[in-house]
């Protein structure tokens, strides 16, 4: 009979730490050369090369515990920040280390993937002068706590001055009912 070993909690902790380190490295690298972005304005993590520039694609995908929500082309859940009030980016400074906005590099175009309404896609100026991808007027962010594609661990978190929610293809945040 085979003996069972207790779950390796250190392994899960190392994976989460590695995901944070990877996200931080992307922010630092992009600050050094991703279409003029700065460290407080990470470049798009889902831009793909295309003739004449890059394409940033937003799609809809069903994720565990939250249902169908918007994701990047790497299947990273996209979030909205309640203090943005459906209009302008307010996550700045240290907030950006945890919640990088989805940036639209200069010369890039937006594309609506499966389940996304093209008329709701847009971009808005962020405080550093770059362009942030928006959906239904909401600036979109990723969460460094989502260490694997298909996760939505930032849903309904109260961090960095407000509540964070995934966003549905309808353009409405998934706000839990009390």
Pick the range with the lowest mean pLDDT from 14-28, 60-74, 89-103: 14-28
Compute the average pLDDT of residues 74-82.
Answer: 97
Residue located via tokens 């390796």: 8
What's the sign of the alpha-carbon dihedral 154, 158, 162, 167?
positive
pLDDT beyond 50 at 134 = yes
CA distance 105 to 103: 6
Confidence grade of residue 129 (pLDDT, cut at 50, 70, 90): confident
Q: pLDDT band for 171, please (50, 70, 90 cuts).
A: very high
- Give the pLDDT confidence of 27-51 residue by residue, as tens digits: 333 333 333 333 333 334 444 444 4
Is the confidence at residue 103, as pLDDT, over 60? yes
Q: Kindly state the average pLDDT of the residues 134-140.
A: 96
Residues in contact with 129: Cβ distance below 8 Å, sequence separation at least 6, in sequence order: 41
- Structure-model confidence comparison of residues 166 and 92, the more confident one: 166
Encode 37-64 in three state secondary structure: CCCCCCCCCCEEEECCEEEEEEEEEEEC
């Amino acid at each position: 009979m085979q003996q069972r070993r207790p779950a390796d909690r250190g392994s899960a902790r190392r994976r989460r730490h590695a995901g944070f380190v990877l996200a931080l490295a992307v922010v630092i690298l992009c600050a050094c050369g991703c279409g003029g972005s700065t460290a407080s304005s990470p470049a798009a993590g889902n831009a793909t090369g295309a003739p004449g520039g890059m394409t940033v694609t937003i799609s809809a995908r069903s994720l565990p515990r939250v249902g169908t929500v918007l994701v990047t082309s790497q299947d990273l859940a996209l979030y909205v920040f309640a203090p943005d009030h459906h209009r302008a980016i307010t996550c700045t400074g240290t907030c950006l280390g945890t919640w990088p906005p989805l940036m639209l590099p200069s010369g890039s175009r937006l594309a609506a993937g499966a389940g996304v309404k093209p008329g709701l896609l847009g971009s808005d100026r962020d405080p550093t002068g770059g362009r942030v991808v928006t959906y239904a007027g909401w600036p979109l962010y990723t969460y460094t706590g989502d260490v694997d594609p298909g996760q939505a661990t930032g849903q309904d978190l109260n961090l960095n001055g407000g509540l964070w929610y995934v966003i549905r293809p309808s353009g409405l945040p998934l706000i839990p009912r009390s």
